[in-house]
Amino acid sequence: MAEQRSQWGSRLGFVLAAAGSAVGLGNIWKFPYITGENGGGLFVLIYLVCIALVGIPIMMAEIMIGRAAQKQPVVAFSTLQGKKTAWAGVGWLGIIAGFVILSYYIVVAGWAMDFTLKSVVNITEPIHDTAEVEGSVYRVTTSTADMETMLIQRQAEKDLKYPVRRIKNKAKPSVWDDYDRYETALDKSEVVDVVKREMLAEVWTSESADTLTALGQTDLPDPNVSEEARNAYRDARNRLFEDNAFAKNIDRAESLMREVEILRKKQLLAVRVLYGEKTELEIRDEAEAVHRRAVIFQKVDDTFGAVAVDGWTSAFWSAIFMLLVILIVAGGISSGIERTCRILMPTLIFLILVMVIYGAFKDGFGEALSFVFKPDPSKLKASGVLEALGHAFFTLSLGMGAMITYGSYQKSKTGIVGQSVMIAILDTAIALLACMMIFPIIFSYDQEAAAGPGLVFKSMPLAFAEIGKGGMLLAILFFGLLVFAAITSAISLLEVVASYFIDQLGWARRKAAWTLGGIILVFGLGSAFASDPDFVLSSWQPSYGTDFFTTIDYLASNWLLPMGGLFIALYVGWGMPKRLREAEMTDVAPALVAGWLLLVRFIAPALVIVVLLQKVGVLDADELFHAWFNRPD
Ligand code: PHE
């Protein structure tokens, strides 16, 4: 059997295929959106640490296991041990992870296919044209005063974003949790209005009230709060404050909210002065541009929204995508993959670079740069550590045996360090570039970084629509290449699942690819229909907090992969026969081997365990990090 196993055409072939597996939706779709949700800089830093201390060592471990055993993951462990062993469970864990990940991976890849077709029929140019028209209409129908008001509010909100976060960060996350709880409770009793008004009455002096009314601030202090309302409010508050610790937290939160209000008032007035110096024409031009962007944003947002809730369309494209993946896997590993990777990977990188350069000329570039690279404790969300770690596994295709499988089609006994480091650097570079491509656009459009799984589909078309004419070509190329990047990753996922049936049960490659691909597609329907309101799974959301799709992504990337990786590290560190391990590292300097052993034996497992414990609730990372980064005052 071993002689007939397929092999890569060359060493470069292995590296290209492994890089093709690593570079995928994880880099361009997932990394930017989870970076957005986790507040940027610090999350990125934690992710980089995870890549270096956990990702690269485990990448080496997986390639080593595959190369040494020349078998797919379930069988590899018993082959190396020379007997049946419980380590084989790691292989099974990998098959399950591959199955689950592929089931929703095809849905996102399907969206990319849908957007490629949409680009071919040119949807972004009409959006551009509509926005031009609506911009002009806005210009002739709106008074300069209204435009100015709109611009002032917009600018003030922008300026306040970070200062407000800094103020809020003076209190521990748990204070804000309590405050949320408190507000919800008061909301239910309809008296929260009263406290808001009272609070504002203290903050807004009467001479600034006129200005603020002119700016459309409607929730101005109303001195006529009835005595009953006041009492009802006090009652509700007192009842909530029977718990002392709770009361203290609310006091703290309210005083900070008061600071926020003061700041807001100051900022509105300051911006107003600023705009007082602008000419009428400047104001009208700026307002029109802002309005045009708002129109583009609305249309682009609707486009993705329509796809996400349309289960049938998502399912259709998932099926087409899966078909492509099955055809490639059924055809054998080396022929197509190597060649296509060689051409399309550089093209993808080039196109991303073009879009990064485009973004560099947008006004959101500076903000994007500091969002991604500046670890600002005020934006900190430490509970993201699990996600950062999980993503380090996901993006490098680790923890489920993909690299064991790909390594097993390689005969060479050298180059393990160089290969692993190269793949990791390439993968990380593309992920960071993807952020620098997406966030300038997002911030130029005043959008939130935390847009969720739709981020890439909602942001890139903004740029293509703004470009107008040439946008169509860029859109086709971009989404087309995204589909391609997804294919080279998806085949490695199916390969892990299928190779068990090929190597162990003796199935023909074709049969394995079609059968398993088909089953995974059926399971994937759950993700395709996850946000479709006409389908039962949409009831998953209210009961579990997130939709089905996000839930299984979360489970697979943040639990299955880190656990798989933990066992793989422990295996090569402690379980694998020394002689076999050394045979794979004859070309590696002894100091490097020692360093690597230290990482896989102690450091990587310890990090994974700490992070998992945090998630089980033994540690609360948000509170801990808050204590480290913010001096109490
Ligand atoms: N690494 C791939 C990506 O970033 C996804 C993947 C995960 C592929 C696990 C194989 C195994 O998109």
pLDDT (tens digit per residue) in 430-442: 999 999 999 999 9
Q: Which atom of ligand 1 is nearest to the CA of 492?
A: 10
Angle at 388 between CA 385 and CA 389, to 5 degrees: 90
> Would you state the pLDDT for residue 621?
66
**Among protein residues, the one whose CA lies closest to atom 6 of ligand 1:** 397
How many A from CA of 389 to the centre of ligand 1? 14
Q: Among 482, 387, 375, which Cα is nearest to 430's?
A: 482
Atom of ligand 1 nearest to the CA of 561: 9
* Contact indicator for 153, 491 with CB cutoff of 8 Å: no
28: tokens are 């361009």
* C-alpha of residue 388 to centroid of ligand 1, in Å: 15
Asked if 16 and 354 count as a contact pair (C-beta separation under 8 A), the reply is no
Distances (CA, A) of 299 to 32, 127, 288, 462, 467: 22, 7, 17, 9, 15
Quick one: pLDDT band at residue 25, thresholds 50, 70, 90?
Answer: very high
In ligand 1, the atom with minimum distance to the C-alpha of 25 is 12
- pLDDT band for position 11 (cuts 50, 70, 90): confident
* Alpha carbon of 337 to ligand 1 centroid (Å): 15
394 Cα to the center of ligand 1, angstroms:
5
* Residue 554 alpha carbon to ligand 1 centre in Å: 14
Rounded to two decimals, what is the model's pTM?
0.86
- d(CA 162, CA 169) in angstroms, rounded, equals 10
| Separation between Cα atoms, residue 561 and residue 337, nearest integer Å | 24
pLDDT: is 363 or 32 the higher one?
Answer: 32
Show the 3-state SS of 552-571: HHHHHHHHHHHHHHHHHHHH
Please name the residues in contact with 343: beta carbons below 8 A apart, sequence gap of 6 or more: none
CA-CA distance, 119 to 127, in Å (whole number)?
Answer: 12
Specify the ligand 1 atom closest to the Cα of 489. 8
Q: Whose CA is nearest to atom 9 of ligand 1?
A: 397
Q: Determine which of 30-44, 75-89, 131-145, 240-254 has the lowest per-residue pLDDT on average.
A: 240-254
Residue 204 has pLDDT above 80, yes or no: no
Residue with the smallest CA separation from ligand 1 atom 11 is 397
pLDDT tens-digit series, residues 300-322: 999 998 988 888 999 999 999 99
Residues 567, 65: Cα–Cα separation, whole Å: 12
DSSP code for 53: I
DSSP one-letter code for 215: T
Q: C-alpha 161: how far from its chain's center? A: 21
pLDDT tens digits, one per residue of 401-411 = 999 999 998 88
Residues with CB under 6 Å of ligand 1 are: 21-22, 24-27, 101, 394-395, 397, 400, 402, 489, 492-493
> Residue 3's pLDDT band (boundaries 50, 70, 90)?
very low
Residue among 482, 493, 499 to mutate when testing ligand 1 (max atoms within 8 A of CB) = 493
Res 376: pLDDT: 73
> Which residue matches tokens 């939709």?
547
* Residue 393 to residue 360: CA distance in whole angstroms: 30
For residue 455, the CA-to-ligand 1 centroid distance in Å is 19
In the predicted structure, residue 205 carries a pLDDT above the cut 90: no
CA dist., res. 386 & res. 290, Å (int): 38
CB of 66 closer than 8 Å to CB of 76: yes
pLDDT classification of 239: cutoffs 50, 70, 90: confident
Q: d(Cα 323, Cα 329) in Å, to the nearest integer?
A: 10
Query: 276: CA distance to ligand 1 center in Å?
Result: 53
Residue from 88, 64, 9, 188 nearest 581 by CA: 64
Residue nearest to atom 10 of ligand 1 (CA): 397
Ligand 1 nearest-atom number relative to CA 490: 8
Q: Which ligand 1 atom lies nearest to the CA of residue 485?
A: 12
Residue in 524, 518, 483, 484 with CA at minimum distance from that of residue 498: 518
The confidence score (pLDDT) of residue 545 equals 56
The Å distance, Cα 445 to ligand 1 centre, comes to 30
Distance CA 381, CA 173 (A): 9
* Span 436-486, pLDDT tens digits: 999 999 999 988 898 888 999 999 999 999 988 888 999 999 999 999 999
Centre of ligand 1 to C-alpha 489, Å, is 5
* pLDDT score at 1: 38
Neighbours of 68 (CB within 10 A): 22
More confident residue, 231 or 64: 64
| Per-residue CA distances from 308 to 13, 258, 423, 457 (Å) | 36, 39, 32, 10
Nearest alpha carbon to residue 62 among 621, 616, 561: 561
Task: Give the Cα separation of 453 and 308 in Å (integer).
Answer: 10
Q: How far is the CA of 399 from the centre of ligand 1 (A)?
A: 10
**Ligand 1 pocket: which of 337, 426, 489, 499 to mutate (most atoms within 8 A of CB):** 489
Contacts of 482 (CB under 8 A, 6+ apart): 25, 28, 29, 112, 116, 456
C-alpha span between 53 and 234 (Å, rounded): 54
Q: What angle do CA 12, 14, 20 make, to 5 degrees?
A: 100
Residue 629 pLDDT > 70, yes or no? no
